[in-house]
Every structure is written in C-alpha cells, then in structure tokens.
Structure 1
Amino acid sequence: MTRQDKLAADFEAHRPYLHAIAFRVLGQHADADDAVQEAWLRLARTGGDGIEELRGWLTTVTGRICLDILRRRGVRGEQPLEPELWTALGDLGPDPEAEAVLADSVGLALYVVMDALTPAERVSFVLHDVFEMPFDAVAAVLGRSTAAAKMLASRARGRIRLGAPTADAHSAARGVVDAFLAAAGRGDLAGLLTLLAPEVELHRGPSVVRGADEVAAQATVGARRDAKGHPALVDGVPGVLITMGGRPFLLMAFTVEDGRITTIRTLSDPKRLAQIVPSWVT
C-alpha cells in the first residue's frame, strides 16, 4: 500500500463522522457531501505531513469548510428551508424528531431555528453541544477566542430553546393525533370519524379532500403495515413523519380544535423530504 493509499484509507474511516458533522451544520446531504469531499482534497494536498492527530485535523478543516458554505449562503441570499416549505404546503413547516441534545420538543424544528443563527453560532452549537468538542477546539475552527466560542454556543443554545415549542401546549392535540394514527392503522373507520371534524380538510399538494367520510376513507386505504411513525412538531402543530424501509415517506401536520382534527396537511415529495429530514430520524 502506498502512502497515498494509506492516507485515503484513513480518511474513509473518518468519513461517516465528518459527514455527520457537516450534515448537522448544513442541513442538506448534498452540501455535506461537498464539504467532506473538500476536506479530502485538502488532506490529499498536504499528503498528511505534519498532522499529528488526523481526526482532530479533519474535524477542524470540515468545520471551517461548513462555516464558509454557510457564509456563502448568506451572500447569495439563499432562503432557509422553512419558507420553501411554506410555498409548497401553505401552513406546513419543518420540525425534526428530538435528539438528546436539547429535549423532545426540539426535534425537526431544530433546523428551522438554526436557520436564524449566524454561521458562527450554528457551527459552535453543533460542534460543542452535539459532538462535545471542547471549546478551545471550537475556537480554533472559528478563528475566535475560547471565550468567544463559549458565548456563541450559549447564544445559539438560548435561541434554539426559545424557538422550541413546549410539549405541554400540544399534549391534548397530540393525543388526538396518536388516536387518529392508531385507528388508521387498524382500519377503524368508525374510530376515525369520532376524531375528525365534519368539515375536515386533507391537503395533498394542490388537491384537497373535504369531509370526514372522505378523509377517513383515504386514511384507511393509505395505511401501511411496514410504515413507522415518528412524532414531530410541524410549524407549531402536532405532526408525524412516516418512514418506510428507513426512508422518509410522508410528513403530516394536524390542526386540532375542540378535540377534533380540522385540517391535515401532507408533504410526500422525496426531494423535499430528503432536504428537511435529518438522517438520524430514520
């Protein structure tokens, strides 16, 4: 094995870790792939000379690449994911399944809130709070002092917590949604009708199905035994991400009033789902 082959093999051993960092910072697999590939190119150019600890070196380089990508997004005026979803679904916006970083209520919404953070805040939060990097290492990535890195992460943490809806505010509505999903899974048409408002609307892209009878019939027909549901908050209302075979299949958001579902909005476009759903959900 040549020295270059050895370097490539060592890099491949760290690729999943680097991709996980890049994806959590950038929120899109394509951008994460680009960041990791750029990290490899930079490593290949060095030939590995002078690198004492490869994982740490690659983490720093990948973090800096992600920071540059976020800054370029701002220069190009790219829109965060939330407005794109509003365009597609009206009232439906993203909100991820919770990770242990904060609490159950943060979940898919993490990316919506993170889009409001500055690039430095976003990188500092992910590297320290998610990947437990020490602040001196985070500071090296950002080109800031350790104290500044701590402040950035604290500011990001505070914004994310303020932006995360509380679970208590949705507990009653969540119970209705859970009952709806259970009834749909059983094919329980009568049970579904008790949970749907008479004038309920099911929005699927440009089409709308109206009326409890029609929506209940659609729900029973669409139920799949191989589907797996992940509770989520979608733009502040209870929702569920349906996956099949480990892949995002359908995102649903429910409006519940007086104990009955009045509106269901869905997103099933694979490309949009791939953009907004974090890889750790499935």
Structure 2
Amino acid sequence: MLTAQDVDRFEAARPRLEAIAYRLLGSASEAEDAVQDTFLRWQAADVDRIEVPEAWLTKVLTHLCLNQLTSARARRETYVGQWLPEPLLAGDPMLGPADTAEQRESVSYAVLTLMERLSPNERAVYVLREAFGCPHREIADILDLTEAAAQQVYHRAKKHIADGRTRTEVDEAAARRVIEEFLVAATSGRTEPLVRLLTEDAVSVGDGGGKVPARAKAFEGARAVATFMRGLFKPSKAKLALAGGSPDIHVTTANGAPAVLAVVDGRVIGVMCVEVTTEGIAAFLNQVNPDKLDRATRRWAAGDHGEPLFSAY
C-alpha cells in the first residue's frame, strides 16, 4: 500500500517521465498511458526496498515504451497514409528540459520524425543521453546492456540522426520571417514566389490518419511542393466545409521552432511544422489527424496567442 509520501514521490517524477515517454513514443496520449502504467507498477512494488526511485521509475518506463515501440511498428504498417509525431505547443510541460542545444534538438519535430528510423534501443539510448544526460553506465543498466554496448548504440543512433540533418537550420527569429514570407507567397496564387523560398529537394508530408484527407505519398521537389502549397491556401467551398469554417492562421511555436497553426472556433485543425534552413525551406511536416491535435487545442485555449495573420478561406 502506497503512502501519501510514496505518491508524492511519484508525482514529483511525473513531468520527467512524461517528457521521456513523449520523446520515445512521439505521442502525448501514449506517453500519458505509459506513465500511468509505470505508476501502477510503482503501486505494486515494495517501494521501501527501492534504493534510487528515479532510476527505478526510469527503467520501468523505458521498458514499457520499448514494448510499445515494438508493437507500434506493426501497427504503423497498417496506418492510413504517412505517420508523423504529435506536435506540442510552446510551454507544454511534456516538452521537458530545454536548457541545452541537445535537449532542444531532441524534441524538435524534425528529429522526432527522424527517430522513427531508429531501432527501439537506439531511440531509447539517444533520448536518455541527449535529452536527459544519463551516464552510459546508467543507460546500460536501464537497457540491460554492457556500458560499451550502450556507447556503441548511442554513437550509431547519433550518426543516423546527423545523416538525416545535413543542412544548418536558421535561428528562430529568421525562421519566423521566412515562414511569414512563405504565407504571403502561398496566398498570392502564384507558384514562382513559393519555389524561390524552397530548397530544390523540398518535401511536404501530411498525416491525416485516415480521418482528414492527406496524400499518402510525400510531395517531393520545390515545384511539386510549391504547387501543393498554392492549392492548399486557395479558398474553396469544399475546404470551408471540410474545415468546419474559415481557419485562422497563426505563426506560433511547436516543439521549439516556429510553426503554422490553423484554428477554427478555438479548435486546432492543423499544425504545419516548417524546417527552415540556410538554403531555404527544406520540409513541411503537416499534422492534421484530429487524434493528434487534442492536446494542442487544450494548450492553445489556455494561452494568449494574439490576432491571426489572416483567415484562410
């Protein structure tokens, strides 16, 4: 039977556990479930015999997430269209620590997307080391590896992430200016201004989860992406009906970087995470699956976000 002190000890660890689980799973709702399952195991344990509760909780949570990641691979084979992580808006405690460049990058939308290419063990080692600064010895104990093996897995994971991020991103203020310029171009009805803002190999990926129309394959190449974006912002009665009204468009922050938000009557219906590099916009990662926007809607409703840039349709 847990004492009030035991429950308080767990609750003090909850924000860190949720931040780890979100980075591992890419889903806020799944992260909350994993942390709740960890609490049930804490409740069933002889906590007086646990010498370092934080290490014990981290190990239990990580293994729950590894099991989830293994089963998720099979589920995502039947997922309708492209799968993208759930975006989190600025100030969400599940984003976790952001004191170092490594911590900020580990929760960026681009890196969360790249982490889908890692094995479950690689992802766990990368997250625990980069975002939470866990020593290799502790990571080895969590994953039941030797310390040398944990170091090898970490270096392999870090190389996979680095190989996927071959361009230098610009700072937040510069990225915001580029995104605002992009929005002006996208609503102009002309393709050429958009093409000039994109890298030659730009991509646009959309996740509708089978609930909102989204192309099953990514748009690839500056002209294809520009044509798609021009059409996306072109008003039509069909889009108005699908959205449930004319979306207000805001530039805000998601996962630590500027992003475009579409909001209808206080409900977030789309988050467009934009990867802005020194060479231009390299990627649009568009989350429109309503199942992955509930938390963003709650966060948006609780904040002060000012006037929209414009209404889309």
TM-score bin (small chain): 0.5 to 0.7
Letter in 2 for 1:197: T
Is the CA contact 2:126–2:157 (under 8 Å) kept in the aligned structure 1?
Answer: yes
Confirm whether residue 107 of structure 1 aligns to residue 117 of structure 2: no
Question: Structure 2 CA distance, aligned partners of 1:176 and 1:196?
Answer: 17
Confirm whether residue 196 of structure 1 aligns to residue 190 of structure 2: yes
Which residue of structure 2 aligns with residue 241 of structure 1? 260
Question: Structure 1 CA distance, aligned partners of 2:156 and 2:59?
Answer: 21
Structure possessing the higher radius of gyration over alpha carbons:
1
Question: Structure 2 CA distance, aligned partners of 1:165 and 1:249?
Answer: 31
State the 1:85 CA deviation. 4.9
Letter in 2 for 1:79: R
Structure 1 residues 143 and 175: CA distance shift in structure 2, 3 A? same
- The alignment's TM-score, normalised by the length of structure 2, stands at 0.59
State the 1:25 CA deviation. 0.7
State the 1:231 CA deviation. 7.8
Confirm whether residue 79 of structure 1 aligns to residue 82 of structure 2: no
Which residue of structure 2 aligns with residue 257 of structure 1? none
Which residue of structure 1 aligns with residue 50 of structure 2? 51
State the 1:109 CA deviation. 1.9
- Bigger Cα displacement from structure 2, 122-131 vs 25-34: 25-34
Report the 3-state secondary structure (helix = DSSP H, G, I; strand = E; otherwise coil) of the residue aligned with 2:117.
Answer: coil
Question: Structure 2 CA distance, aligned partners of 1:180 and 1:25?
Answer: 32
State the 1:138 CA deviation. 0.3
Report the 3-state secondary structure (helix = DSSP H, G, I; strand = E; otherwise coil) of the residue aligned with 1:115.
Answer: helix
Is the CA contact 2:28–2:295 (under 8 Å) kept in the aligned structure 1?
Answer: yes
Which residue of structure 1 aligns with residue 155 of structure 2? 154
State the 1:271 CA deviation. 1.5
Structure 1 residues 212 and 123: CA distance shift in structure 2, 3 A? closer
Question: Structure 2 CA distance, aligned partners of 1:139 and 1:133?
Answer: 10
CA RMSD of superposed structures (Å):
5.1
Question: Structure 2 CA distance, aligned partners of 1:132 and 1:209?
Answer: 39
Report the 3-state secondary structure (helix = DSSP H, G, I; strand = E; otherwise coil) of the residue aligned with 1:251.
Answer: strand
Question: Structure 2 CA distance, aligned partners of 1:134 and 1:209?
Answer: 44
State the 1:265 CA deviation. 9.2
Which residue of structure 2 aligns with residue 205 of structure 1? 213
State the 1:57 CA deviation. 1.7
Deviation per CA, 1:10-49: give whole Å up to 9, x if none: 1111111111111111111222122212221222222312
State the 1:205 CA deviation. 3.4
Confirm whether residue 12 of structure 1 aligns to residue 8 of structure 2: no
Question: Structure 2 CA distance, aligned partners of 1:273 and 1:23?
Answer: 14
Which ranges of structure 1 fall in alignment gaps of 5 or more residues? 88-92, 185-190, 233-238, 255-260
Question: Structure 2 CA distance, aligned partners of 1:231 and 1:167?
Answer: 19
Question: Structure 1 CA distance, aligned partners of 2:52 and 2:272?
Answer: 45
Which ranges of structure 2 fall in alignment gaps of 5 or more residues? 89-94, 195-205, 207-211, 216-227, 240-245, 275-280, 304-313
Which residue of structure 2 aligns with residue 271 of structure 1? 291
Structure 1 residues 67 and 3: CA distance shift in structure 2, 3 A? closer
Structure 1 residues 228 and 103: CA distance shift in structure 2, 3 A? same
State the 1:150 CA deviation. 0.8
Question: Structure 2 CA distance, aligned partners of 1:122 and 1:47?
Answer: 30
